[in-house]
């Protein structure tokens, strides 16, 4: 049985979310394109929060530990007595630790975003069109030819302005 791709375009976020929910009830997982971040769309598609936060946590811990290692390691390696102060001045070093925690956590967050989003991408994804980065919400569903009529009707009932059919 041949597969087809249905690309539906919505002018309205609410209708798009409603249609996603109906597709999910029908055990269909659509690909969604959106010009704005939409919590409603994310909530309709995902049950867990993004893994990016684990990247940030790991990066932050790594940065903080690196800060301690750099400052304490350097101090004990060089062992400079500056005016009778302790060789390792933890309160002063906490500033370096804090800055490195932020630096590594931030870089890890951006790296995590690219990794988990499978970016960079060099080619347009199937079903993408320029309106989806500007003023339209897009739903892309891949299905069997036999099932396509039912899903197309569901998309239109959901309020899609336009549904196009592409061969996979």
Partner 1 sequence: MAAAAQTTGVSAPTFTDIDRQVRRVLEPGGLQFWAWICFCAFFICVAGALWTNQVYSGLGVTGLTQPTMWAIYITDFVFWVGIAHSGTLISAILFLFRTRWRTAVYRAAETMTVFAVLTAGLFPIIHLGRPWFFYWLAPYPNQRSLQPDFRSPLVWDFFAISTYLTISSLFLFMGLMPDVANARDAARGWRKTFYSLLSMGWQGTDRQWRNFSMAYLLLAGFAAPLVISVHSVVSWDFAMTQVPGWHSTIFAPYFVAGAIFSGVAMVLTLLIPMRKIMGLEELITPWHLDNLAKVILLTSLIISYSYVCESFIVWYSQDAFELMTFHQRYFGPQGYLFWMMVACNCVIPLLLFSPRVRISTAWLFIIALFVNVGMWLERFVIIEGSLATNTEPSQWRFYHPSVTEIFITVGSFAWFLMLFSLFARFMPIISMTELKEGIQWLREALRDNYRRAA
Task: Give bridge partners of residue 138 from the DSSP assignment.
Answer: 9, 33
Minimum distance, C-beta of residue 22 to partner 1, in the bound complex (Å) = 16
Give the total of residues touching partner 1 (CB under 8 A): 62
HEC letters along 34-99: CCCCCHHHHHHHCCCCCCHHHHHHHHHHHHHHHHHHHHHHHHHHHCCCCCCCCCCCHHHHHHHHHH
- Each residue 89-128 as x (binds partner 1 by CB under 8 A) or -, in order, gives x--xx-xx-xxx-xx-xxx-xx-xxx-xxxxxxxxxx--x
Residues 122-161, interacting with partner 1 (CB under 8 A): 122-125, 128, 130, 132-135
75 vs 92: CA distance, rounded Å: 12
Residues that bind partner 1 (CB under 8 A): 31-39, 41-42, 45-46, 49-53, 56, 70-71, 74-75, 77-78, 80, 82, 85, 89, 92-93, 95-96, 98-100, 102-103, 105-107, 109-110, 112-114, 116-125, 128, 130, 132-135
């Amino acid at each position: 049985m041949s597969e087809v791709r249905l690309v539906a375009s919505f002018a309205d976020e609410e209708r798009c979310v409603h249609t996603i929910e109906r597709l999910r009830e029908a055990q269909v997982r659509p690909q969604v394109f959106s010009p704005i971040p939409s919590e409603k769309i994310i909530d309709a598609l995902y049950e867990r929060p993004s893994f990016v936060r684990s990247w940030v946590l790991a990066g932050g811990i790594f940065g903080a530990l690196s800060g301690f290692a750099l400052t304490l390691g350097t101090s004990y390696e060089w062992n400079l007595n500056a005016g009778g102060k302790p060789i390792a001045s933890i309160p002063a070093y906490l500033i370096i630790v804090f800055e490195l925690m932020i630096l590594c956590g931030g870089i890890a967050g951006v790296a995590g975003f690219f990794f988990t989003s499978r970016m960079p991408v060099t080619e347009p994804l199937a079903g993408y069109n320029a309106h989806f980065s500007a003023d339209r919400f897009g739903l892309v569903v891949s299905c069997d030819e036999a099932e396509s009529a039912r899903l197309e009707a569901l998309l239109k009932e959901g309020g899609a302005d336009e549904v196009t059919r592409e061969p996979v």
